[in-house]
Amino acid sequence: MAAKSEKWKKGRGKLGILQPLLGSWVAIADSEMGPVKCTRTFTKVLDGNYIQLNVKWEFKTKTYEEVAIIGMDNDKVSFWSFTSDGKKSQGYLSDGTDVHPDAICFEAQMPAGIARMIYWQDTEEGFHWAVESKNKKGWHRFTQHHYKEI
C-alpha distances in Å from residue 73, one per residue of 36, 45, 50, 76, 116: 33, 16, 11, 5, 18
Higher pLDDT, 6 or 86: 86
Which of the residue ranges 4-8, 24-28, 124-128 would you say has the lowest mean pLDDT? 4-8
Residue 82 CA, chain-centre distance (Å), reads 14
Between CA 96 and CA 89 the distance in angstroms is 19
Residue 128 CA, chain-centre distance (Å), reads 9
Between CA 17 and CA 49 the distance in angstroms is 13
pLDDT at 1: 37
Architecture per CATH, 4-149: Beta Barrel (2.40)
Domain borders along the chain are 4-149
Residue 7 pLDDT greater than 80, yes or no:
no
